Structure 1
């Protein structure tokens, strides 16, 4: 497609999928069950990290997890005792198990004792209020595993560009938290990270559709692939490139494009 034809085509698809009806069948429905900012952050983070496999299964497992926390994750994380933690034992989704979960709870408890928002965990101080996402993701992973005696098996659940990962789950989480529009899907509750800085979550559907549209030339799928795709999307909308995630994902999973 020519540039304007491609932009018009994808703009139409963004309008088609970036609307509340998208929520009910997507893991983003999990944080939409909450109203307190910290509950939204925590629910969104877990929903993104557990986003493996069929969306229905992901949603069911997230609901199971938060039921174990009395559907008050922020309060549970700050105020749990050892008996409360026993309710988390036995939780499992694919390779994520209760060992990983207990460390996640410990990290969130540590972080929220110091800050009232998870956004601060992604901010790189020396870059001021407009950090590059690559450095933010690397910083976050280092910080996440800064508690003593973290389980070695848990490392695989939090990726970063250093590992050449596409960081699909974290980029999806950041899209949810950072993008601001009036469509009611993404939350836009963070202010320091900007939509223009975001990297497109590059899952198998997005990758396949983007390649079919000629937006990815890199042969493998890794961090540089996600950066390449996001650069192409920035040509279509430099202020909000990742809105096209709706179009690419919708084309891939709903329309089998």
Structure 2
């Protein structure tokens, strides 16, 4: 495909998958159960953190977390007691266990009581072309209260060349707003043009098949390469094509059609 054909193809797939029915099978359905900004951004962050593996398993674990937070994420974060935390036991989702969730709860309490909330921590500077430094600043604040060594692996670092797929997905949820009913568009402090494309095995393999990505690794360098290529199609909202790449990979088995 030439440039115009590829843009038309990606735009068509974006329109197909950026649709309210997408919510029905995606972890984003959990924050869509809430209405207040704080509830959405808190539970969204927690759900994005465990969004790896089987989707049904992710949804089951997500409901477990909602129950631990007594159905009121913001209120629980601000006002929980030590007895409330004692009710959180065992595995939450795969390698994310009760110790990790309890740390996340305590750190989020610190962020909302002392640091102005999640949006303020993630805010980008005007001279920053992407969210690299915003994510690193967030990690520094998130782990400022006596972090557990085991818990740090659950918040990825682009500085360590991680693709930071789940954080980039979370930021897409919070920042993009196109009235399609999927992404929330709650945050004004980050521009959609600064977002980086969430990169996993599905979107990565699809991107390579479409010649949008040359690197073999799914790392931050690949995220930069892919996002820069997507900006050629829409410089103001490049990560909208995450829907195209992910949909083609997960729902259409696109890569295997070319083998």
Q: TM-score range by the shorter chain?
A: over 0.9
5+ residue gaps, structure 1, are: none
The correspondence for 2:169, drawn from 172, 194, 212, is 172
User: Residues of 2 paired with 1:152 and 1:226: CA distance?
Assistant: 26
Tell me the CA shift for residue 128 of structure 1.
Answer: 4.8
Give the drift of 1:218. 1.5
TM norm structure 2: 0.95
Measured in 1, the distance between the counterparts of 2:91 and 2:31 equals 19
Stretches of structure 2 lacking an aligned partner (at least 5 in a row): 255-259
> Are residue 48 (structure 1) and residue 48 (structure 2) matched?
yes
TM-score, normalised on structure 1?
0.95
Q: Which moved more, 1:164-173 or 1:107-116?
A: 107-116
| 1:170-206 deviation digits (Å, cap 9, x = unpaired) | 0000000000111000000000101001000001100
Aligned partner of 2:147 in structure 1 is: 150
Moved more, 187-196 or 128-137: 128-137
What is the SS of the residue equivalent to 1:137?
helix
CA RMSD of aligned residues (A): 1.3
The alignment partner of 1:51 has SS state of: coil
Shift of 1:219: 2.7
2:104 is aligned to: 104
Q: How does 1:233-252 map to 2 (within 5 A)?
A: 233-252=230-249
Matched, 1:211 2:225: no
Correspondent of 1:139 among 137, 140, 155 = 137
Matched, 1:2 2:2: yes
SS of the aligned residue for 2:235 comes to coil
**Counterpart in 1 of 2:186?**
189
**CA distance in 2: counterparts of 1:114 and 1:203, whole angstroms:** 34
What number of residue pairs does the alignment pair up?
254
Q: Which residue is equivalent to 2:80? A: 80
Spell out structure 1 runs of 4+ moving beyond 6 A: none
CA distance in structure 2 between the partners assigned to 1:87 and 1:232 by the alignment: 47
